[in-house]
Structure 1
Amino acid sequence: MEPAQKERTPFSDIDGLTASMSEMVLAALTEMGRHPEIRRVRRTGVDALRPALGARLLDAGSGSGEVARKLAAEVGPRGEVIALDHSAAITAAAVSRHDGSNVRYVVGDVGDLDLPDDCVDGVWCERVLQHVDDADRAIGELCRVTRPGGRLCLIDTDWDSLAFDGMPPRLWDTVARYVNRHFTPPQRDMGRTLRRRLVAAGLSGLTATPVTCLFGSPDSAAVVLPMVNPRVPADSWHAPLGLRDEWLACVEAAGARGDFLAVLTIWVVAGTVPDGLAPLGGISPR
């Protein structure tokens, strides 16, 4: 993820965080990966990627490596997964959790991959492009390293789809002005733009699936949505303390009444790299 975005979300420059904040982000990533709704998104992604036995895959923005290890099980002992992440700290954590499967962990930049052309059979890139400065350049790189006939599976969030019920709408409108600047990335619409970006990149056989994640309790929502998580430090809000406290009190009350609801759409978009794909975004073949 791009260091230039570190002032926006903690996920953008994990290596620039304090040790305690880095541990908090890693714990959040781990907990998120266990959430039933995120698992549902990932099942949709695996169906779209169609990993085959013996395939070589790239997990671009692999985090703690849990998806890479699951993909390794899909491709079997003759296959391989390259788990690439921008953060050295998160990559080290991924290595510490390695399970012996055919996963190779590397530190790298999704926008400037140190990999040869046509070297993988498929790419998985989950909730990464919303954080980078130039998503189309990154997609061009992902296409470059994928052989003709290989598949790209891009997964990303449409933060503009986030909606709540059970809380005063005007309060959320006020809170959103703060959390949209500090809890969500600049590319808030990334999820719904993925199909257009792959059309522009020249991929074929496109599929685009919106997965609406439903959170029926504050505890469930807090795993994915930092603005309802009381454990997120108050100074991360950059908002009046009274506003944060009022909002979290309303969230708690809605949970107690049983009428809390949050919904968020995450898009799963996949396509096939054709023969003779032209470089995208001015990136020359290597």
Structure 2
Amino acid sequence: MNNCGMEPAQKDRTPFSDIDGLSGQMSEIVLDALTEMGRHPEIQRVRRVAFDMLGAVTGQRLLDAGSGNGEVARLLAARVGGRGEVLAVDHSSAVTADAVARHDGSNVRYLTADVAALDLPAGHVDGVWCERVLQHVDDADATIGELLRVTRPGGRICLVDTDWGSLAFDGMPGGLGAVVMAHVNGHFTPRQFDMGRTLRRRLVAAGLRDVVTAPVTCLFTTPASAAVILPMVNPRVPEAAWATPPGLREEWLACVDAAGQSGTFLAVLTIWVAAGTKP
């Protein structure tokens, strides 16, 4: 099959950018994906690096900006203890409702709001966690500015985001993979595909001090493991959600499955963590 001459179908936002606007089927898939991602050993490894960089301590008030199902907010609540508080903010009312349903009684408040326009006073929180959110927003620097505004002087901001440009596969035909990625970039992956690698620059430009950063390369050696993070190898994602010509999805997924069966499948993706202190 030769699709190299066809224009890739793209959309302005990924499904994670507008969960409330999805169909019932896609909304369920995305909500399940958030849960499965949080359980994945590679995402947990990324988060351990980020927890160390944020350095949350007892009694702090923290903001989880783009909190998803609230899993990280609840982990942060355990770190700040009963005298602390975590504000878990997500733009999706469906996701917020899911987070509330999972609440464990810890000191977390769940709010539906735009992380780029928070209804919080300046200097209201001691620290901010923002994981894999900036790749989806319209203006990452403005959003960082808003997170900085609500953080007190001396507070810590920790950003976690993906460098989709680092995504690489092995075990399948390289030419076919290139054709598939040409169609799914900007559809399954955000247009701001290199956000992770830009985090350090953005924090430095925003005036933060003591900026540190770390790349964490996630390794997937089976299609099942990769499918939790990478929608382009997930057969559960319905055909209607793909942006590929007829037959290309099936050909690609068959190659993915064959690589899994032979034990030759490999996927790698770098997620960056960056943190800095507000002067």
Question: Who is 1:126 aligned against?
Answer: 131
Residues 235 and 129 of structure 1, relative CA distance in 2, 3 Å threshold: same
Structure 1 position 138 matched with structure 2 position 143: yes
Alpha-carbon distance in structure 1 between the residues aligned to 2:244 and 2:102 = 37
**Residue 241 of structure 1: SS of its match in structure 2?**
coil
The residue type equivalent to 2:195 in the other structure is M
Shift of 1:233: 0.6
Cα RMSD for the two superposed structures: 1.1
The residue type equivalent to 2:88 in the other structure is A
Shift of 1:31: 0.5
Structure 1 position 56 matched with structure 2 position 66: no
- Which residue of 144, 151, 161 maps to 2:166? 161
The residue type equivalent to 1:170 in the other structure is G
TM-score, with normalisation over the residues of structure 1?
A: 0.93
Contact map agreement 1:6 1:13 (CA 8 A) in 2:
no
Structure 1 position 113 matched with structure 2 position 118: yes
Shift of 1:100: 0.2
Shift of 1:181: 2.5
Structure 2 unaligned blocks of 5 or more: 1-9
Question: Who is 1:265 aligned against?
Answer: 270
Shift of 1:19: 2.5
Question: Who is 1:12 aligned against?
Answer: 17
The residue type equivalent to 2:85 in the other structure is E
The residue type equivalent to 1:221 in the other structure is A
Contact map agreement 1:6 1:12 (CA 8 A) in 2:
no
Alpha-carbon distance in structure 2 between the residues aligned to 1:93 and 1:137 = 28
Alpha-carbon distance in structure 2 between the residues aligned to 1:6 and 1:109 = 21
What CA deviation, in whole Å up to 9, does each residue of 1:18-46 have, x standing for no partner?
22321211101000100000000011110
Contact map agreement 1:234 1:241 (CA 8 A) in 2:
no
Structure 1 unaligned blocks of 5 or more: 275-286
What CA deviation, in whole Å up to 9, does each residue of 1:95-153 have, x standing for no partner?
01100000000011111111000010000000000000000000000000000111000
Shift of 1:241: 2.6
Shift of 1:7: 4.7
Contact map agreement 2:85 2:108 (CA 8 A) in 1:
yes
Alpha-carbon distance in structure 2 between the residues aligned to 1:148 and 1:262 = 41
Structure 1 position 215 matched with structure 2 position 220: yes
Question: Who is 1:34 aligned against?
Answer: 39
Question: Who is 2:233 aligned against?
Answer: 228
**Residue 274 of structure 2: SS of its match in structure 1?**
strand
**Residue 268 of structure 1: SS of its match in structure 2?**
strand
**Residue 181 of structure 1: SS of its match in structure 2?**
coil
Alpha-carbon distance in structure 2 between the residues aligned to 1:139 and 1:179 = 27
Identical-residue share of aligned pairs (%): 73
